[in-house]
Chains A and B, each alone.
Chain A
Amino acid sequence: MGSDIMIETTGLTKKYKNQTAVDHLSFKVKKGQIFGFLGPNGAGKTTTILMLLGLSRPSAGDARVCNLDPLRRPRDVKCLVGYLPENGGFYGDLDAVQSLEYVASLNGIQKHRASEKTHELLELVGLSGEKRKKVSAFSRGMKQRLGFAEVLIKDPKILFLDEPTLGLDPDGALRLMELIESLNRDRDITVLLSSHNLHQVQKISHSVGIMINGRMVAEGSIASLAEEKFGVGEKEYTLEEVYMKYFREV
């Protein structure tokens, strides 16, 4: 079945004036998967995500999200995709409930439904104690969890998470990863997870792609990548070792 593929790019390229940010990128993510999107800073991961959302126009190539062309139908794509940007901000003068209700209104969710969902999601991300606190007084971890709730309010089919654990304490990062895993398991949400926290990625992702200098240098399950590089199974090598091996070769 064709609809089994949630994200697909073919020859996706983005050129800025003097450099190529994304270079003929082709990859697929199947439904219900957590795809670990790895690579050094500046490898073009964020640019790829922006092109998948239709926020950036590819110089060449094609992208499909849920079989929709993000360039032609950006609004439909954005209805299905929740995007948590790397350094996403908040309106400091709103409280948690107001922030979520604003996002809900942008998504066209009816008012009574929105307040219902707001409380449900604040419960889910563990912020129900801080409902009426201004976001400017939130800690980094709380903001990240609120950002997560904002992304989930539209009931997305796909999540694009750009460094969701950046700057979080180990416990917060772990809990966020567990939340991602449970969402994937219980709600069948496909996740594109960009992260440098390789240990966590290894634990929850079904397959990974390693992007270096705008190219996808490796794609597949961690076991198959380890086998390709070291000739043995996943158990022997961590994702970190596999990643470093690819990184050094480029």
Chain B
Amino acid sequence: MRGLCAVYRKELCDHFSSYRFIVLFALIAMVSFITSYMAGMHLRENLGGLSRTKFPFLMLFSTPGALFSMVQFVAFFGPLIGLVLGFDSINRERAHGTLIKLISQPIYRDAVINGKFLAAVATISIMLISIVLVISGFGLAIVGVVPGIDEIWRLLIYLVISIFYISFWLGVSMLFSIFFRNIATSALASVALWIFLSFFVSLGADVVANAVAPVGNQREIRPENARVKDMVSLCSPMVLYSNATATIIDPMRKTTRSITLMGPAEQILASRFQNPLRLGQSVIVVFPYMTALIALTLVCFAISYFVFMLQEIRT
């Protein structure tokens, strides 16, 4: 335990005093600030005449103001936080010759990797929580609505899912930093994997879906095509994350599936009943995605853990 605490404190201190963290934090704070400001202005215009709006507070996060919403922004660029915090965590110590010194101290070897991972997760959590709090305060001032208890719970769940999502990418970059001796290699490899999984899988999903179940003309709707597309695009953690947060942050959504995959009764239900889902129901809808995301994060860390524990360290 003492080794874990010592490594954790040192790493946390390193993160908060590093320029890369400050630059990253400034960038993300600025962008989220702008998007929520846009969303806020948008909301004020559109909700002005309505007497009873539903969950206006959450819309601060989910309404695309000009380009994208805060939620979409985290889905796109959140992984970058994880990658930047982790890509050199082990191989930098190796390159500087401090790793051998560290593990020749009377600590368990896993204290090194656990401490580093936990410190980075703590950094991510502090970053996200502070941004969400700032936006909330900002929203109070612009829109002038107070969040209800339900909305606060939804934001909390959203935060937890987001932390896991970014921690998944942290785990990936730490795994690469264990595999690759060279810092530049691990940075490039993790960025490449991020771009591939986030942006190219959805393109690939189209290709695969059209190959498996070709659609004749544009008008034709084939459920198999949509189903295959959904399945393939779930390989992307970004899609997984978007699905996992979809009904949490937007209570009006009742499902994560596209309309072509719904049965006739479900389609009628979706169009007839316009009331928001209760929190419990929202959670049930996205529960599979949430657990898959959390499992993915844990599996990724477990692989890094075992690789690191079994590796021979000479320098």
Residues of chain A having any CB pair with chain B under 8 Å: 46, 50, 53, 55-56, 75-76, 78-79, 81, 83, 85, 87-93, 102-103, 105-108, 150, 154
Contacts and interface: CB of A to CB of B under 8 A. Distances in A.
A84 to B, nearest CB: 9
Contact of A85 (B9, B14, B97, B106): B97
B272 interface: no
B53 interface: no
A108 B111 CA distance: 13
A106 B105 contact: yes
B3 interface: yes
Given A55-B313, A105-B9, A106-B3, A85 B104 contact: yes
Nearest to B100: A85
B6 interface: yes
Contacts of A53: 104
B103 A55 contact: yes
A88 B9 contact: no
Interface in B87-122: 96-98, 100-108
A91 B98 contact: yes
B15 to A, nearest CB: 12
A78 B10 contact: no
A153 to B, nearest CB: 10
A143 B96 CA distance: 13
A103 B105 contact: yes
Contacts of A106: 2-3, 6-7, 102, 105-107
B267 interface: no
Given A88-B98, A102-B10, A46 B106 contact: no
Contacts of B52: none
B312 interface: yes
B106 A79 contact: yes
B315 interface: yes
B314 interface: yes
Nearest to A92: B96
A106 B9 CA distance: 11
A125 to B, nearest CB: 16
Contacts of A88: 97-98, 100-101
B97 A107 contact: no
Interface centre among B96, B100, B107, B312 (most CB of A within 10 A): B100
A108 B10 CA distance: 14
Nearest to A78: B106
Contacts of B3: 106, 108
A107 B104 contact: no
User: 7 shortest A-B CB distances, which residue pairs?
Assistant: A89-B97, A89-B96, A105-B6, A78-B106, A106-B105, A79-B106, A83-B104
Contacts of A46: 314
Contacts of A76: 106
B165 to A, nearest CB: 30
Given A50-B314, A90-B96, A105-B2, A85 B101 contact: yes
A136 B312 CA distance: 27
Contacts of A90: 96, 98
B312 A56 contact: yes
Interface string B166-199: 0000000000000000000000000000000000
13 contacts: A53-B104, A87-B97, A89-B96, A91-B96, A93-B14, A93-B17, A103-B101, A106-B2, A106-B7, A106-B106, A107-B105, A108-B106, A154-B105
A117 to B, nearest CB: 15
A241 to B, nearest CB: 32
Contacts of A108: 2-3, 106
B315 A87 contact: yes
Contacts of B108: 75
Nearest to B7: A106
A107 B96 CA distance: 21
Contacts of A87: 97, 315
Contacts of B105: 78, 103, 106-107, 154
Contacts of B96: 89-92
Nearest to B315: A87
Contacts of B17: 93
A63 B19 CA distance: 46
A107 B6 CA distance: 9
Given A87-B315, A108-B2, A55 B98 contact: no
Nearest to A57: B312
A105 B105 CA distance: 10
A165 B315 CA distance: 18
Contact of B104 (A55, A91, A92): A55
A89 B104 contact: no
